[in-house]
Amino acid sequence: MALRLSKYFGNSAKFWLGLQDDYDIEEEQFHLKPELNQIRKFEINAA
């Protein structure tokens, strides 16, 4: 589909795949928000 859209609109397939990636990530962040909020950030303690 990305190839077809890129041919029709005259841009790259990577553009369309990038839009899909952005959408997929935002959807997962929304659905996993409670779980993601429980994950502590990795920190290096400099001694």
Q: What is the dihedral of CA 8, 9, 10, 14, to 10 degrees?
A: -100
pLDDT at 45: 87
What is the mean predicted confidence (pLDDT) over 34-43? 95
With a CB cutoff of 8 Å and minimum separation 6, the contacts of 17 are 2
Grouping H, G, I as helix, E, B as strand and the rest as coil, residue 23 is helix
Contact 5, 16 (CB under 8 A): yes
| DSSP 8-state secondary structure symbol assigned to residue 40 | P
pLDDT at 46: 80
pLDDT tens per residue, range 1-36 = 999 999 999 999 999 999 999 999 999 999 999 999
pLDDT at 8: 98
